[in-house]
């Protein structure tokens, strides 16, 4: 169990970010209600909205765990990485859409709620992933899962688009892009998704810097084990130095969830 003030404060910041996400989603929903062409299902079909709703849940759960002194368990660390990846990619893709909007003869409005969802929260989850203490290393095999959701979302979006004649992004609309452009744009997006998650996984395995996190030693034991320290020769971050001892647990203590 982590007991440093910085670790617990990072949990409070995640809870605050989750609250900001809820407020931004609600404000953005109210904003689009004012459009005559608004359709509720269209709103919830955007990749940005779906990824940010998942992000709110992940930040809330991770925030509660962190405030209670616990790191994300390995399975949830993988979920955290995947959702963070999708939120970051949403921001990157939206920036590309903005840059291409003039050439495709449409304009985009930028209400504050949209800026928060696409840029501020995307920037926050990246900074949080890089600097927050006590990050649980994510298994590299998680990389194989990253395209499942984007591919399923894309299949649904294309099938529905043919029925309702509406697509959330120009690079999915056959009326706006050629077949070659469709393959190019979507191939680039999928490559960015894989690249971002690979970077997040790699960052999760980096050792902390000079101010590395330490934990309260278990009563009666010697010294605490810090994330990034070698509790025993040949033992690395993410390994179990002894049966029942996890990274961030004190030697001779019980495993924390």
First to last CA, the chain: 8
Q: DSSP of the chain, one letter per residue?
A: ----HHHHHHHHHHHHHHHHHHHHHHHHHHHHTTSTT--HHHHTTSHHHHHHHHHHHHHHHHHHHHHTT-PPPHHHHHHHHHHHHHHHHHHHHHHHHHHHTGGGT------HHHHIIIIIHHHHHHHHHHH-SSPPPPPGGGGGGTTHHHHHHHHHHHHHHHHHT--SSGGG-TTTS-HHHHHHHHHHHHHHHHHHHHHHHHHHTSPP-TT----PPPTTSS----TTS-SSTT--TTS-SSTT--TTSPTTSPPP-
pLDDT in tens, the chain (257 residues): 556 888 889 999 999 999 999 999 999 998 888 776 678 888 889 999 999 999 999 999 999 999 998 989 999 999 999 999 999 999 998 887 777 665 655 666 678 898 899 999 999 999 999 999 888 999 999 999 999 999 999 999 999 999 999 898 888 999 888 999 999 999 999 999 999 999 999 999 985 433 344 433 334 444 444 444 444 444 444 444 444 444 344 334 334 44
For tokens 């998704």, name the residue. Answer: 193
Q: Which residue has the tokens 């299902």?
A: 41
Which residues fall within 8 angstroms of residue 159, CB to CB, at 6 or more apart?
Answer: none
User: Backbone phi, then psi, for 56, in 5-degree steps?
Assistant: -60, -45
CA distance 212 to 133: 8
């Amino acid at each position: 169990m982590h007991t440093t003030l910085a670790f617990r404060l990072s949990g409070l910041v995640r809870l605050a970010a989750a609250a900001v996400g809820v407020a931004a989603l609600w404000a953005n929903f109210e904003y689009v209600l004012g459009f005559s062409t608004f359709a509720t299902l269209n709103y919830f079909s955007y990749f940005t909205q779906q990824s940010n709703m998942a992000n709110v849940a992940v930040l809330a759960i991770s925030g509660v765990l962190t405030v209670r002194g616990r790191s994300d368990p390995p399975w949830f660390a993988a979920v955290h990485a995947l959702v963070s990846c999708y939120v970051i990619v949403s921001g990157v893709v939206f920036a590309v859409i903005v840059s291409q909007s003039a050439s495709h003869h449409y304009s985009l409005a930028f209400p504050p709620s949209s800026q928060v969802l696409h840029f501020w929260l995307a920037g926050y989850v990246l900074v949080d992933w890089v600097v927050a203490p006590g990050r649980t290393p994510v298994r590299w095999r998680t990389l194989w899962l990253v395209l499942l959701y984007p591919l399923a979302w894309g299949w649904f979006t294309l099938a529905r688009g043919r029925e309702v004649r509406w697509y959330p992004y120009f690079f999915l609309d056959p009326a706006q892009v050629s077949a070659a452009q469709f393959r190019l744009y979507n191939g680039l997006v999928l490559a960015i998704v894989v690249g971002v998650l690979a970077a997040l996984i790699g960052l999760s395995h980096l050792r902390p810097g000079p101010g590395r996190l330490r934990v309260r030693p278990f009563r009666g034991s010697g010294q605490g084990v810090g994330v990034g320290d070698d509790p025993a020769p040949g033992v690395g971050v993410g390994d179990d130095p002894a049966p029942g001892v996890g990274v961030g647990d004190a030697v001779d203590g019980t495993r924390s969830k």
